[in-house]
Amino acid sequence: MAANWTLSGSLTLNGNAVIAGAYNMRAANLKTKQNVTGTAFSLTFTAGQTLTVTTSIALQANSDQTVALLSGTGSSPFTLSYAGTPGNLVMAKVACTDVNYSSTTSPCFNWAGGTLTRCTGIANKNIADLQNIIGTIT
């Protein structure tokens, strides 16, 4: 496909998806399908291209499910750009490989951490980090 993609709704991972080609993609929401057990979800995006999410990111793995974001070319990242509010960005236990995250509105915290390999702009956080934040508020 030679042109860029724009989705007015959600890009929902319900298995493994490979987005190949020299084009960028824009979607309102990026999320995993919920209430699915024993499933691996992954999104492989073309190195050098940009996936822009305008409203929300909800990528969450659980004890019997894996979620991964990765570039199709090792050591050559794709860019995940987010324009939504911090409250609409939830990542938990997501494994990321060769992802450059950028946002002017929200940091990207991957709660309960998945493996981060050659990523920029994504930080793994855990309960101790949350306790540190809450402790500074009280």
What is the token pair recorded at 27?
A: 């979607």
Domain that holds residue 26: 5-137
Q: Measured between alpha carbons, how far is 118 from 49 in angstroms, rounded to an integer?
A: 16
- What pLDDT score does 48 carry? 94
- What pLDDT score does 84 carry? 94
- What pLDDT score does 30 carry? 92
Of the pLDDT bands very low, low, confident and very high (cuts 50, 70, 90), residue 26 is very high
Average pLDDT of span 24-53: 86
pLDDT tens readout for residues 46-93: 999 999 999 999 998 877 788 999 999 999 999 999 999 999 999 999
Of the pLDDT bands very low, low, confident and very high (cuts 50, 70, 90), residue 100 is very high
- What pLDDT score does 128 carry? 83
Average pLDDT of span 31-42: 76
Question: Is residue 138's pLDDT more than 60?
Answer: no
Q: Which three-class secondary structure state does DSSP give residue 129?
A: helix
Number of domains in the chain: 1
Contacts of 16 (CB under 8 A, 6+ apart): 40, 41, 42, 44
Contact between 23 and 2 (Cβ < 8 Å): yes
Question: Is residue 2's pLDDT more than 60?
Answer: no
Task: State the CB neighbour count (10 A cutoff) for residue 22.
Answer: 10
Contact between 19 and 46 (Cβ < 8 Å): yes
Nearest CA among 97, 79, 91 for reference residue 124: 91
- What pLDDT score does 19 carry? 83
**Alpha helix positions (H), the chain:** 127-137
Q: What are φ and ψ of residue 68, in 5° steps?
A: -140, 140
The four Cα atoms 25, 61, 91, 97 give a dihedral, to 10 degrees, of -60
Question: Is residue 1's pLDDT more than 50?
Answer: no
